[in-house]
Amino acid sequence: MKFVILGAGGLGSVIGGYLANAGEQVTLIGRQAHMDAINENGLKIDGCRGDFHIAENLTGVTSPDDAEGEFDYLILLVKGKDTETALAEAEQLKNRCKNVLSLQNGIGKEKRLIEWAGDKVIGASTIEGGTLHEPGHASNPITTPTTAYFGELDGGITPRIEAITDAFNRAGLGARSMEDIYHVLWEKLVQICTASSWSVSTLAGGDLYFADGLAVREGAEHYVAIARELLTVYAALGYQPENFYAPMSQFKELNSVSDEKAIEIMQALGERMKNDPGGRRGRTSMHEDVTRGRKTEVDEIIKPFLVKAAELNIEIPTVNAVYRIIKVLDNYLKH
């Protein structure tokens, strides 16, 4: 199959690299230095499944107009702040793509894509990790046994959903087709919103990682307070936690115990991560953005919960405070 990835940074390079390595034809659209490095020397990926280098089946271009031919799937992977520009630049390319999806974080991304590409759009979610280290070199620090979900936005599983699920599975990216993709999209948002809100509001002031904050009792208390509020909104939307991204999701467990027990669970997790050389240096991409001086996805990741909570008359004071804190930081981040 032919894939085009619009926004080949950290995650786009990892997903594109795995698909190309499995024999799919992949065109990456990204920035000059990274695309030049890939076209000259291929793409190096290291991380949780081991290291590999891929030069076949992979082409890098810097403009959508230079992506040649027709594509089965376009995968949008710019950050939320760049979506409008990227879609405007890809107007001609859209006509050469049969299906369109976004693996970005957020809940409004599919609605925005439908305005752009109508019924070409399918729903999709992933937890796969990707960081761009230098031109031609990305790393893939995290995954879970099922790392991607696909489904029709009006419910159901069609051949185009099964085909992309199969392609991801062939590439080693464990994937499932879903009847109700919005269930996964909302739960992923609970997960990334909890982790990012907590991480930035707790750790952004120093060279600290997830484990450093969770291992402190007050850090674990803050985590549980955020998770509880988001799970309340999630439940009011009619969903129960499924731990779609187990073992990294722990919402079923947190939902079924007292606050005190939940704090103990999170603090113990922090201690375990601190003692595990592999888990010690975990950070969310929003935390990385703040550390690197880049604008965050605060409006894609936290704001949807504030909007839903207001609609549903639910108080989420901790998340509200965190949103305000991160908005202040975001205001001074440059790029």
Ligand X SMILES: NC(=O)c1ccc[n+]([C@@H]2O[C@H](COP(=O)([O-])OP(=O)(O)OC[C@H]3O[C@@H](n4cnc5c(N)ncnc54)[C@H](OP(=O)(O)O)[C@@H]3O)[C@@H](O)[C@H]2O)c1
Q: Which residues bind ligand X (CB under 6 A)?
A: 7, 9-12, 29-31, 77-80, 82, 85-86, 89, 103-105, 126, 128-130, 132, 285, 297
Q: Torsion angle of alpha carbons 15, 17, 23, 25, nearest 10°?
A: 80
Closer by beta carbon to ligand X, 12 or else 219: 12
Closer by beta carbon to ligand X, 215 or else 286: 286
Give the Cα separation of 63 and 7 in Å (integer): 10
Closer by beta carbon to ligand X, 138 or else 269: 138
Closer by beta carbon to ligand X, 84 or else 260: 84
When CB distances to ligand X are compared, the closest residue is 9
Closer by beta carbon to ligand X, 57 or else 296: 296
CB of 159 to ligand X, least distance (A): 26
CB of 87 to ligand X, least distance (A): 9
CB of 30 to ligand X, least distance (A): 5
**Cis status of the peptide bond prior to 159, with omega within 30 of 0:** no
Closer by beta carbon to ligand X, 255 or else 291: 291
Whole-angstrom CA distances from 291 to 77, 114, 143, 206, 324 are: 21, 33, 22, 9, 18
Per DSSP, which regions of the chain are E strands?
Answer: 2-6, 25-29, 43-47, 52-54, 58-61, 71-76, 97-102, 123-126, 131-134, 137-140, 148-151, 175-177
Amino acid at 276: D
CB of 107 to ligand X, least distance (A): 12
Amino acid at 266: M
Give the Cα separation of 86 and 333 in Å (integer): 21
- Return the SS3 of 32: helix
What token pair was written down for 205? 């002031």
Amino acid at 53: H
CB of 56 to ligand X, least distance (A): 22
CB of 149 to ligand X, least distance (A): 12
- Return the SS3 of 106: coil
Give the Cα separation of 45 and 28 in Å (integer): 15
Closer by beta carbon to ligand X, 1 or else 248: 248
CB of 239 to ligand X, least distance (A): 20
CB of 284 to ligand X, least distance (A): 8
Closer by beta carbon to ligand X, 29 or else 121: 29
Tell me the torsion sign for CA atoms 195, 198, 200, 206.
negative
Based on DSSP, count helices (H) and strands (E) in the chain, helices before strands: 15, 12
